[in-house]
Structure 1
Amino acid sequence: MVNQINFQWRVTKYNPDFRDENGYYTLREEWTCPSEIGKTINGNVFTLDEYLQVEEAYINSVIKFIEESSIDSLRILQFKCHISEEGKISPLYEKEFEKLILKKDSIVNKKEIRLICKMVLRNFLWCELYSKDNFFVHFGWDYYMYIGSNVNCLSTIKFATNNGLFVEQFTSPHAFSEEETTRQIQWNEIGDESKLIVGEEELKNIPLNEYQRIFNLSAEHPVIGSFDIKKEQLEFFQTFLKHKLNFDKYEYMFWGGC
């Protein structure tokens, strides 16, 4: 899927000098989320201006990695939007966010990628950005970012470093191969607001192109993430399941990952 990409980096604001012997960032206190704006960290108030400066370095670095990799667009994977009414009154919310129409498997250009990165870093959105066998951008918790490319982006690494970021050779923890991928059907009882999973069953021996067909995905989509299972898909999935699908009792979801 993505682990065959030649060069992978961890790109963050965290100086590796402050990691312990196990690689954990424990030797210095730092902000890890924009929700901490206004709090006192290491004796200093974490300001909006300070946050925006770091955010801009992240976003500009993503675009530089894309450009040096000779890529014009990327595909959206595992899209989830988190914009609440409370979020809309945040000083980090921008009206421009409402103009962005996104869905899983969409192709996005560099202008849209800038806005997507901003929304992800501000916790209004989560997704991965992907070009099959060529490039990816993964976002992790605590303002971690992972980038992979088949081009050794030395100019961009220098750019990111000059803008206060630290670029380390590092395999993305979100990268895994098709052989490592597990796919399964999960279900919860209808009417259960908690969506508590009460059953699951692994799917086996289904070709990737069949998943792409049943979910109307492109041939580039690796079929990871979650998708609702609809009644019209019952016949297809029932062939591969021991569990008897019952849409009168359960809601079903497909999940693929590692």
Structure 2
Amino acid sequence: MHKYRITKYNPLFRDAEGRFTREDWTSISDIGKVFDNQELTIEMYKKAEDSYIKAVHLIMDLLNLPHLHARNIIKSFPDDQFLALINDNIELYPKDMLHYYFSTVNNTGKITYEDVSKHCRLQLREDLGSALFYPRKCKLFIGYDYLMSVHSHIQLDPIFQSIQNLGLFVEEF
């Protein structure tokens, strides 16, 4: 398997142990806070999130994956608390995403190409957790702090530049 880290964090600013040394936003809850003398706006947040989603679709396209599988889907919040928690950024949660969140009750499932964006957005926002994969081809890990890694049965080199054009960094490990 070929293993990659794909993030918004420039590897030039990692220390010897691989830790990012600059102060940067790491969560949807950081909207409105100031980083590097600039306030994180909803628009800036959405642009970064869109980049991650486009990168996932680039990977799926390269690997010719019609869908992904999810295992161990866990909601971070009880349904009755979820709406109150997202109220400050409700414009980032259109009706179709809310429907997807509330209907995600299975512990496993097949996620269509179209629903991958909703699922991954909810993972980036730390609203859902799950293991994403396609048997014998790909494992996709989305964790806290806007960290994403990919294990692939083939090299992702053909899409490195496209991912970098989205403002993300690809690191092999």
TM beyond 0.5: yes
Instruction: Name stretches of at least 5 consecutive residues in structure 2 with no aligned partner.
Output: none
> Structure 1 residue 142 and structure 2 residue 136: aligned?
no
Shift of 1:89: 1.8
- TM-score (norm. length: structure 2): 0.88
Shift of 1:88: 4.2
Shift of 1:151: 2.0
> Structure 1 residue 15 and structure 2 residue 13: aligned?
no
> Structure 1 residue 55 and structure 2 residue 57: aligned?
no
* Counterpart residue number, 1:110: 113
Greater shift after overlay, 153-162 or 139-148?
A: 153-162
Indicate the structure (1 or 2) with the bigger Cα radius of gyration: 1
Shift of 1:98: 3.0
Change (3 A) 1:17 1:88: closer
- TM-score (norm. length: structure 1): 0.60
> Structure 1 residue 77 and structure 2 residue 71: aligned?
yes
* Counterpart residue number, 1:243: none
* Counterpart residue number, 2:19: 24
Matches within 5 A, 1:176-255: none
Shift of 1:113: 0.6
1:203-225 Cα distance to aligned partner (Å, 9 max, x none): xxxxxxxxxxxxxxxxxxxxxxx
Shift of 1:139: 1.1
- Asked whether the equivalents of residues 123 and 143 of structure 2 are also in contact (C-alpha less than 8 Å), the reply is no
Secondary structure of the residue aligned to 2:108 is: coil
Instruction: Name stretches of at least 5 consecutive residues in structure 1 with no aligned partner.
Output: 1-5, 171-258
Q: Matched residues in 1 for 2:16 and 2:142: separation?
A: 24
Q: Percent identity?
A: 28
* Counterpart residue number, 1:230: none
The correspondence for 1:130, drawn from 126, 133, 138, is 133
Secondary structure of the residue aligned to 2:111 is: strand
Which aligned segments of 4 or more residues in structure 1 are displaced greater than 6 angstroms? none
Q: Which has the higher contact order (CA 8 A, sep 6+)?
A: 2
Give the AA of the match of 1:96. D
Change (3 A) 1:90 1:125: farther
Q: Matched residues in 2 for 1:46 and 1:133: separation?
A: 39
Give the AA of the match of 1:126. G
Give the AA of the match of 1:62. V
Q: Number of residues paired by the alignment?
A: 164
- The structure carrying a bigger helix percent of its residues is 2
Q: Matched residues in 2 for 1:54 and 1:139: separation?
A: 14
